[in-house]
Every structure is written in C-alpha cells, then in structure tokens.
Structure 1
Amino acid sequence: MMSRIATRFDALHREGRAGLVTFVTAADPDIETSAAILVGLAEAGADVIEIGMPFTDPMADGPAIQAASIRALAAGGSLTVTLDLVRRFRRSDNETPIVLMGYYNPIYHRGVATFLEEATEAGVDGLIVVDLPPEEDDELCLPAREAGLDFIRLATPTTDEKRLPAVLANTSGFLYYVSIAGITGTASAMASDVGAAVQRLKTSTDLPVAVGFGVKTPSQAASIARVADAVVVGSAIVDAIAKAPEGEAVNAAKTIVAALAKGVRDARKVAA
C-alpha cells in the first residue's frame, strides 16, 4: 500500500502541479490553538504538513522558529503533546501527510522503539531529523523505515556528487532541498539557482524534490513551484502566527497559507 506521502505526490503529479508543504511548531502559540491551526492549514491548501517538535536548542533554525519553540515549550509543548496533536488531527483528516521535523535528542530520550510505535499509531507519515547524518542511519532512519515511516533527508547547495549517494541511500518520501546556505528564514531562494539544483538532483533520484528555506511570499513560492515538485514554507507562517492579534492566530495562518497555495497552484498553470 502506498504511503500518504507517496499518494499525495502521485496525485500532484497527475494534476500537473507542485505541492505546498507547510511548517508550524507544535503547541505554538498554545496547544489548543495549535490543534486548530493544523486543521486550518489543510483547509487552506497545504498538501503536506510538517510539524516541528519543540526543542530547547533548534540549531538549524532561524530566529522565527527558535522563538516558536520557546513559545511552545512555555505553553507546555513536548514530544508527547506533538504526538497527541497528530492524533487529534487524524480524527478529521486521514489523508493529508504529516511529517515530524526536529532534532534527535527528544526521540533518543523517549527511546527509538517507543517513539516509532507511538508515531505510527498517532498517524505520522514521515520524519525529518536534521542532526542525524547518513552515517548514523542505524540509529533511527532504518528502524523508522522498517516501521513504515518515510525518512526524509536534506540536501544542500554544498551536497556534491561524492556526498549525494550517501544522502539518497535510505531517503524516502521526498528529498528536501535546502535552497540557501545557513539557517531558516534568513535569506531568499533564487528560482534560477534552484532550478539548476533540482535538475541535478533529479539525475540521481526518482524521489520528488521539495524546496525550502528562504521561501516567504506567494510570488517566491510560485517561482519555486515552476521548477520543483513542492515548495516548503515555514518561517513566514510561524511569523504570521506570532504577529497575530490575540485570538487570531488560526485565521492568520489560514490567510497566508491560502495565498501561498494559490501562488503554487497558479504557477504550474502558467508554466503548462
């Protein structure tokens, strides 16, 4: 049986368009609002949802997502809460793929076997664990694959031809191309550079290539959608949640995601 991620990308391919992958941090700004935001993301047009697992030291993330982790932890966010939010989401949506993104420390402390059992039971489809390189695949990647979860790896502008085979070896679901060097939310991706990079990656893998880091606006998302299989947006959504007036975080998230989704969908129509 095809995974939710494979099913979604197959559907996108048949529709002839790129997908929109959205990122938010679990329990930001609080647990109940976060649960409503997740539902709202799918309603507004997110094709895949990445949920950040709150962590005290999110070293690959920029200020916006670091601040989201701080807010989430202060609101009671944890790995347990993250998994519960996925369970709640699955009560109303059994189709939208959910990917947990974060760092290995909370998973390690929970125990890999326990975490994987709980994640699959909750309805998680894939994992992005940014601080586990391919050399450590025995630690989590291979057990996750055996449990039926996709393990999504990141490639960067500095991933050369020598390194790429190791990155791709046990990757599944999709390949996440980090379009800029550095942390999230601090620069903008250039479609011309991304297009060449995606084509290079496509010569080495049949996996869909999703492009993220530095995509903030509908127009930027549209330009990336013309050359990639999916566009990943995180910091801009997290920023919208942070800046929303009290009680308006769900609407703020839905508004920006709807605009991003329209940009992504219209882009492929224009290019066709």
Structure 2
Amino acid sequence: MFNYRTLVSTITVMAFLAVWEFAPRAGIVDATFTSQPTRVVAAGLEIIRTAGFLHDVSVSLSEFALGFTLAIAVGVPLGLVLGRFPVLRYVLDPPIMAIYATPHLALLPIIVVWLGIGMQSKIAVAFVSGVIPILVNAMAGVRGVDGSWIVAARSFSAREWDVFVKVILPASLPSVILGIRLGLSRAVLGVVVAEMYQSQAGVGNEIMRYGSEFRTDYLLFDVLLVSLFGLTATSAVRALEERLWTAGE
C-alpha cells in the first residue's frame, strides 16, 4: 500500500511539473505570471547564494520554534486539565471557544501594537495560532477516554494521579498528537503572514518584497520553501500519530 501510494503521488507531482513547465512554452499561459519550474530553481539558486538568505531562514525558524514550543508547553497540560475537571472547563470554555472561532490573523494588528514589529510579535502569533488546536484536541482526548477504564482502575484502589498518568494520559495521547499536527500548520501560517504584514526580516518578509517587485520566480521559490518545511514537519508528526493509533489498537 505504501509503495502504491508513493508511486501515485510521484506520478501526480511529475505530471504537474511537466504541465507547469511546458504550458508557458506552448503559449497557453504567460510565464510572467506563472513562472516555470526551471526558472524557479534558477531563482532559488540565486537566492541561496545571497548573504541574507540564511539570516531570513534562521529568523523565521526561530520565531516558529519558540512560539510553537510555548504553544505545546501551555496547550497540552492545560487541555488535559480542562478535560479532566469539568468545573474548570465550564469556566474557561467560552473564552477558549471564542478565540478558536476568531481568525487568528485578525489579532495580528493588535499584537503588533502591543509587541512591536520585532520577533516578539511573530512568536506571539505562532503561539496564538498553535495553542488553541492543541488545547482543544487534548481536552477532547481526555473527555473521550472510556469511563469503564477509569472505573476499573479505581476498583484496584488507584489514586487520582495514577488514573491520570496510567489511564487517561496514554488513552488521550493520539488526540494530543493530532492537535500538535493541526497547531503546527497554523503556527507556520501565522509566522509567515505576520512577517508579510510587518517585519524587517524573515521568509515572509521576502515573499512580500518579491511580490511587490513582481518577481514571480523568486516569490514562488520562497513559497515552495515554506510549503516544503510545513509538509516535512506535518508528515513527521502524522507518522508519529499513525504509530500511536496503531499501538492503541
């Protein structure tokens, strides 16, 4: 199944690249607007040689890593606690759901007003974008634990901490990983858009600059670079998620 899926995916990608390359050559579309794979690769090689490329990448990665790490550190334990204690969940559920329903990028202007255009605002956007999916899925994972397991553990005189660590936490772990995967993609989006909105460095800042200069080849290279990072990171988390689901069956 894995080999078949890989084969189909490879054929699809190759077909897309072939159409993308030869459609402008055939005059079907204007390469000024769509570019071509060969032109994007050439532009990418030129970008990589520039002195500021590694700086922009390191800035974006640092903002994402710090913001997303904070999102995991806050979202996972808070979600587990809210899922376990209904009274606390009833108190905090309305504001959490309000933030969850609000487009997080709509909060970007006020975050910039509070924290400025430096790294702090990008870290905050990554945190806000990533923490809610993690929190909500962790909470749902705890609430979805089979009650008979908890009753069985307590029948053997298990304390509340033992029930939480040995029953609830392992059973809710797949949902926690799912939340991390969803939060990861949102955090990447948040960092890039925040850099596009107001920034002095970062890949998002370069995307905005190339777009304003109508340099499609360079613009698409940076967009594909972000997409590749997001795909690689989410695929790694998805693989971990599938292993946990398989282990739980």
TM-score tier, shorter chain, comes to under 0.3
Judging by fraction of residues, say which structure has more helix.
2
Judging by fraction of residues, say which structure has more strand.
1
Superposition TM-score, scaled by structure 2 size:
0.26
Superposition TM-score, scaled by structure 1 size:
0.24
